[in-house]
Chains A and B, each alone.
Chain A
Amino acid sequence: MLDRALFLFAEGFRNLLRHKLTVFAAVFSVFLTMIIIGSLFIIGKNTNKLIYYLRTKYKIEVFFEADLAKEEALDVVKQIESFPGVRNTTFIDKENATKIFEKQFGENILDYIQRNPLPMSCVINLNRTGDYELDIMPIVTRIESLPGIDNIEHQGKLIQRIEGFHNRFTTIFSVVSIGIILITISIISNTIKLTIYAKKDLIQDLHIIGATNTFVKVPFLIEGILQGFIGSFIAFLVLSLCLQIGNNILTQFSSMTIRMDPAAASWMLLIGISISFIGSLRALARFLP
């Protein structure tokens, strides 16, 4: 059994060396596909990280009406805390507001104005939402309906734009990736068909001497898997190298770096091999039913 498996693997490997031109076309197709998908994935992952970071920074600031009593304002804050999506709140009374003012501007406002003009306010921190879109507008609308609210400051529009961009990117990434994968499967399938055609004598002879269809098919599948492995492995190396060079240039201008997922090698190989495997299966289903 092991001897036969080794023989079939060796046959698949030999196929790679026998049909250099078609193998080159298949490997190059997988390489290009994985470069494009890998680049999009890296961009997507880094955008995700940025979005996640921004989501943790989202906050709403509520300013209360000047004539509202502190107890009434605290009641409102309590109500806000019970809203879904609100992580916690920080109430700032008039006294603390003057301290913040002094910290920011270096002057005590009461030295210039007899009466404290700064309103009570409340900073609302939102739940950190990792993977799903954050829509703060429903929370803002609910806060607006509460009594004693004078003004609400938030980054709702900006958040919507960022989330919208992120969603569009994710959709385009998915569509482009699926399209490229389908094209590559078709290319691999055609190269395997050419190989099968070139080896029709061998296939006929194998059938005559008693080979099962599985025995005939396995070397072609191994050939396809090896093509996928080689193409995606080279793509991973090239992408890693490009990232390293890109980051070296980037660090001269900014502290930001583009990172590759540590598991990138695994999933790139997995996708590359899967593409080739499906392409080979498709060709074999057609020519060796």
Chain B
Amino acid sequence: MIQMENVTYSYEKGYGVKNVNFTIDDAEFTFLIGPTGAGKTTIMKLIYMALIPQSGVVTTGHFRSDKIKKRKIPFLRRSVGMIFQEYHLLRDRNLYENIALPLYVIGTRHSEIADRVENVIDQVGLVGKEDHTPDELSGGEQQRACIARALVKDPEIILADEPTGNLDPITSFELLKLLEAVNHEGTAVLMASHNYNLIKGRGHKIMEIQQGLLREN
């Protein structure tokens, strides 16, 4: 599903990741933990190929970083659902429109869109909020909307970059349970977090990153 082989990427300022190796299998739930600035987001960006490694190879599905053409990157991203700490919801559109957007991008038929959007809205527990804009939703609801937006295109993997960073502990835990439910349905999840208390004892694989160096627990 996802593989990194001797991957190194460094920014001009010197941060980044060094000689990273790991594999995430189909339907696997993996935590990526580490302090702020350790390289968690860089790993995520390398997986959805917003960054291309300076050395080593990243494989996401059947796309390889050393062979992929720039115009093919959008097709890779269609098989990856992404969730961010800052939500990235469009403020001038309601919940329904935000969730439906990826389906228009991948060319889903209009008649199919309503069903799929309603299904994921139900799955994440936001029924009745379809007409609300992001500003009319709480932080937890916005993050649930992000999960719905990631799920609606039926991705093979969900990348969640600090999804609980702006949420209180109870909401964070509910969100984690939601991601676990999604994983239970067969979708692989890679969740980055710096909150060790949240993820400990969940029985999932944990990878720890410190100053760009990865250690698998």
Residues of A near any B CB (own CB < 8 A): 1, 3-4, 6-7, 18, 201-202, 204-213, 215
When distances are taken between beta carbons in the complex, the residues of chain B under 8 Å from A3 are 104, 107-110, 113
Query: Which of chain A's residues has its CB closest to B90's CB?
Result: A202
**Contacts A3-B109, A201-B88 hold; do A210 and B77 have CB atoms under 8 A apart?**
yes
Residue from the list A6, A208, A215 in contact with B88, Cβ < 8 A: A208
> In the complex the two chains form, is A209's CB within 8 Å of B110's CB?
no
> In the complex the two chains form, is B88's CB within 8 Å of A204's CB?
yes
| CB of B168 closer than 8 Å to a CB of A | no
Q: Give the docked Cα–Cα distance between A205 and B146 (Å).
A: 11
| CB of B78 closer than 8 Å to a CB of A | yes
> In the complex the two chains form, is B109's CB within 8 Å of A206's CB?
no
> In the complex the two chains form, is A6's CB within 8 Å of B105's CB?
no
- Nearest CB in chain A: distance from B107 CB, A: 5
Residues of B near any A CB (own CB < 8 A): 48, 50, 71, 74-78, 80, 82, 88, 90, 92, 101-102, 104-110, 113, 149, 153
Query: Which of chain A's residues has its CB closest to B110's CB?
Result: A3
> In the complex the two chains form, is B90's CB within 8 Å of A212's CB?
no
When distances are taken between beta carbons in the complex, the residues of chain B under 8 Å from A6 are 110
Query: Which of chain B's residues has its CB closest to A8's CB?
Result: B104
Q: Give the docked Cα–Cα distance between A205 and B75 (Å).
A: 15
When distances are taken between beta carbons in the complex, the residues of chain A under 8 Å from B88 are 201, 204-205, 208
- Nearest CB in chain A: distance from B152 CB, A: 10
Q: Give the docked Cα–Cα distance between A11 and B77 (Å).
A: 22
Residue from the list B71, B77, B109 in contact with A209, Cβ < 8 A: B77
When distances are taken between beta carbons in the complex, the residues of chain B under 8 Å from A1 are 107
When distances are taken between beta carbons in the complex, the residues of chain A under 8 Å from B90 are 201-202, 205
When distances are taken between beta carbons in the complex, the residues of chain A under 8 Å from B80 are 210
Q: Which 5 pairs show the lowest CB-CB distances between chains A and B?
A: A210-B78, A210-B77, A3-B110, A209-B102, A7-B104
Q: Give the docked Cα–Cα distance between A213 and B108 (Å).
A: 18
> In the complex the two chains form, is B75's CB within 8 Å of A210's CB?
yes
14 contacts between A and B (CB under 8 A): A3-B107, A4-B107, A6-B110, A7-B110, A205-B101, A207-B74, A208-B88, A209-B77, A209-B101, A209-B105, A210-B76, A210-B80, A211-B74, A211-B105
Q: Give the docked Cα–Cα distance between A1 and B106 (Å).
A: 10
Query: Which of chain B's residues has its CB closest to A4's CB?
Result: B107
When distances are taken between beta carbons in the complex, the residues of chain A under 8 Å from B102 are 209-210
Query: Which of chain A's residues has its CB closest to B81's CB?
Result: A209
Q: Give the docked Cα–Cα distance between A215 and B102 (Å).
A: 11
- Nearest CB in chain A: distance from B105 CB, A: 5
> In the complex the two chains form, is A209's CB within 8 Å of B82's CB?
yes
- Nearest CB in chain A: distance from B62 CB, A: 15
Q: Give the docked Cα–Cα distance between A64 and B37 (Å).
A: 105
> In the complex the two chains form, is A4's CB within 8 Å of B48's CB?
no
When distances are taken between beta carbons in the complex, the residues of chain A under 8 Å from B153 are 209-210
Query: Which of chain B's residues has its CB closest to A202's CB?
Result: B90
Residue from the list A18, A201, A204, A206 in contact with B105, Cβ < 8 A: A206
> In the complex the two chains form, is A208's CB within 8 Å of B92's CB?
no
Q: Give the docked Cα–Cα distance between A202 and B77 (Å).
A: 16
Q: Give the docked Cα–Cα distance between A206 and B92 (Å).
A: 14
**Contacts A3-B110, A210-B75 hold; do A215 and B105 have CB atoms under 8 A apart?**
yes
Residue from the list B71, B92, B107 in contact with A18, Cβ < 8 A: B92
Q: Give the docked Cα–Cα distance between A205 and B91 (Å).
A: 12
> In the complex the two chains form, is B107's CB within 8 Å of A208's CB?
no
When distances are taken between beta carbons in the complex, the residues of chain A under 8 Å from B75 are 210
Query: Which of chain A's residues has its CB closest to B48's CB?
Result: A208
Q: Give the docked Cα–Cα distance between A17 and B109 (Å).
A: 26
- Nearest CB in chain A: distance from B60 CB, A: 12
Q: Give the docked Cα–Cα distance between A206 and B93 (Å).
A: 14
**Contacts A3-B109, A6-B110, A201-B90 hold; do A208 and B104 have CB atoms under 8 A apart?**
no
Q: Give the docked Cα–Cα distance between A3 and B211 (Å).
A: 47
- Nearest CB in chain B: distance from A199 CB, A: 9
Q: Give the docked Cα–Cα distance between A3 and B104 (Å).
A: 8
Query: Which of chain B's residues has its CB closest to A3's CB?
Result: B110
When distances are taken between beta carbons in the complex, the residues of chain B under 8 Å from A204 are 88
